[in-house]
Amino acid sequence: RTMNLVDPEKVSDGDIRNLAGFDIIGITEKELGADLLDRLRSLAQLRTALDRNNIPSPIHVWGGLDPLLTPLYFFAGAEIFDGISWLRYAFIDGIAINRESATVLDEGLGIQASRRFAYPLTAAHNRNHLDRLAGHLQQWVDYDGTSFSMFPKPIRDHLARAYRTMQTKVPQLKERRHGR
């Protein structure tokens, strides 16, 4: 079974201009590439092509809602995310863990918490995490992509390192104003 991958570098400016009528440009995470760096590169290339053709429409990554990957996709040029991972996992300190394990880390719940009680509470915690993540991404833009202090401590250095790697490996990120 072959995967259909989108390669923005092989799409003509005329084809890109045909996207001008869309308010949002949607693409699945899997269509962007087989590996994470490939997906980030494709996103940056797509955003660059849209910008070059004066198309301000945001890029929506279907399936890209993960507490660690979402910032990386955002750094590459995506702005809208969705997925069901927020229902499957518990988002804690910027990472996703098995929601069954989340009660072990929650002093208020502990291992005695029933699934019937813990799962809805985890979903509510995840919603709060997503709201905070949106604020962190806005702060990152406000700092022009130069600070990662707004992200949870366990992941901030990892995100900064990943972004430096992205800037080295994805030429389009060097050309764009950091933080948008």
Q: Which two tokens mark 44?
A: 């940056």
Query: pTM for the complete prediction?
Result: 0.91
Determine the pLDDT at residue 46. Answer: 95
Q: Which DSSP string corresponds to 3-43?
A: -----GGGS-HHHHHGGGG-SSEEEEHHHH-SSHHHHHHHH
Element of type H or E holding 60? strand 59-62
Within a 10 A sphere around the Cβ of 47, how many other Cβ atoms?
23
* 85, 69 Cβ separation under 8 angstroms: no
Whether residue 26 contacts residue 60, with contact meaning beta carbons closer than 8 Å, is answered with yes
**pLDDT score for 11:** 79
What's the pLDDT score for residue 178? 56
| pLDDT means over runs of 10, the chain (180 residues) | 67 88 94 94 94 95 92 97 90 91 86 89 93 96 95 96 95 70
Q: How far apart are CA 100 and CA 88, in angstroms?
A: 9
Strand partners, 90: 97
Q: What is the pLDDT of residue 1?
A: 45
Q: For residue 169, what pLDDT is reported?
A: 94
Structure tokens at 20: 């001008």
Per DSSP, the three-state class of 83 is: coil
**End-to-end Cα spacing for the chain:** 37
